[in-house]
Amino acid sequence: MSLGQLDLLPSPGVSERRWAVLDERRRGTRFLALSVRSVLNSSAATGMGFWSINPYIGCEFGCTYCYARDTHRYAMERRGAAAEPLPAWEAFERRILVKTGVAEVLVRTLDPARLGEHSLVIGTATDPYQPAERRFRLTRRILEVLLRHRGLAIGLITKSPLVTRDLDLLGRLAERHEVSVNISLATLDRRLARRLELRSPVPAARIRALARLTAAGVHAGLLVAPILPGITDGRAGLDRLMGAAKEAGARYVVGSALRLGPAARHRFLPVLSREFPDLAGRYARHYARSEGVSPAYQRALAARLRELQRRHGFPVDEGRKRRQQLEGRDRRGPAAEDQPVLL
């Protein structure tokens, strides 16, 4: 390329040199430093019923259904990484963006008055306690910043037992704020979980983490999400899951159904074709027209969850409120007869 010529078609890998590589794993995962000027996502900007903060973009857990692949794709494209040689679904798992200055920016920009009555949720896009947190400790630094304030409603969403590392901070935060920890788990079946979530902690480890949290006095519960139509929505499986949560001392159990954006569909639909071929065509037809489930499916699933919540002694009203907050969007879709049905 001659001097002064615009690089309209950059060579593969050019974009990566624009990012500082903080760490790299043998399997090819790179952790890239992401400079940010703001870290808080307002409820008005996202259309959700809460504010949010995510210390990482992308996630090593590699859950095949994860909707946050679209968030990662947008972040990479917006910052000039269009030449990234990996497809968007794979870059999500292998190019983790690390907001190295997240705590410092939060110190400067957090004004509790702006949050009003809304809660602040950590980990709405990617897991704040994914393996990268052992190395970078950004989530812990966020919690330390929040200790400077009082009177907030703070939520955490994670699949990882690493959250118990911060029991000391969570206890201190609970003295100053309303704190809830949501342990995400959709099935107790270890083999099924591994088919859907390539590197996430096994179900038993998450239940043990939930038990440690509640034994330490942390307000914690189970987030059954995403619930996969025809795969993890069976009454028997959900009943066992709620029973295990109750035994672990969970204060609540909430659930929400699968939603699939474009990048997530590219990852999840091939997995369905391989692992659940009888369902693959139905999923493909429905999610080609809608990111969420149909109203009819949502009503049937909500009724099933309420029935099981009552059976296990979990609050139904709190569960409905938390589900609405965590979903944070209208899930209108096509006609019910086009949907996968509850089995």
DSSP track, 7-63: -SSPPTTTGGGGS-EEEE-TTS-EEEE---S--PBPHHHHTSSSEEE-SEES-TT-B
Write out residues in the chain with pLDDT < 70, as ranges. 1-18, 79-84, 317-343
CA distances from 318 to 183, 255, 282, 306 (A): 16, 12, 33, 11
Query: ∠ CA(235), CA(211), CA(103), 5° rounding?
Result: 110
**CB 211 within 8 Å of CB 250:** no
3-state secondary structure of 319: helix
At residue 76, the pLDDT reads: 79
At residue 331, the pLDDT reads: 32
Q: Name the CATH topology of 18-338.
A: TIM Barrel (3.20.20)
At residue 200, the pLDDT reads: 96
Pick the closest to residue 283 from 256, 299, 304, 265 (CA basis): 265
Pick the closest to residue 223 from 121, 131, 88 (CA basis): 121
The pTM score is: 0.87
At residue 252, the pLDDT reads: 97
Per residue in 219-278, pLDDT (tens digit) is 999 999 999 999 999 999 999 999 999 999 999 999 999 998 887 888 999 999 999 999
